[in-house]
């Protein structure tokens, strides 16, 4: 199973707190070699569904970030993960990651 490193950066958290909640994003910092090619190929026309820890599903369509705007169907999972990561801005967290 793959792994992925995610973070909410301090500038992103400040942008979010300034009222830009619809533009919230979680930065993708690195992925294990088994899923890295798929992550690198992400685009608006080439999206995947990362499943973190076997239970948190998101939609990713950008090799550098997971955007809330892409996660209308997974808004609760996105918001929960964003809140967790924003507790410690700039601290990276590694997750087990399946690609659905």
Using 50, 70 and 90 to split pLDDT, how confident is the model at 10? very high
Q: Give the start-end residues of each E strand in the chain.
A: 2-7, 25-31, 50-52, 56-57, 65-67, 93-99
Q: What CA–CA distance (Å, rounded) separates 85 from 66? A: 13
Domain span at residue 34 reads 2-99
**pLDDT band, very low/low/confident/very high, at 21 (cuts 50, 70, 90):** confident
The total domain count for the chain is 1
Average pLDDT over residues 35-44: 95
């Amino acid at each position: 199973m793959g792994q992925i490193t995610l973070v909410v950066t301090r500038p992103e958290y400040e942008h979010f707190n300034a009222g830009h909640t619809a533009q919230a994003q979680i930065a993708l910092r690195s992925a294990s070699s088994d899923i890295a090619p798929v992550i690198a190929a992400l685009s608006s026309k080439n999206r995947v569904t990362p499943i973190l820890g076997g239970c948190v599903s998101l939609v990713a369509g950008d090799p550098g970030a997971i955007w809330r705007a892409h996660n209308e169907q997974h808004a609760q999972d996105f918001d929960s993960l964003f809140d967790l990561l924003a507790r410690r801005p700039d601290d990276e967290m590694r997750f087990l990651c399946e690609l659905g």
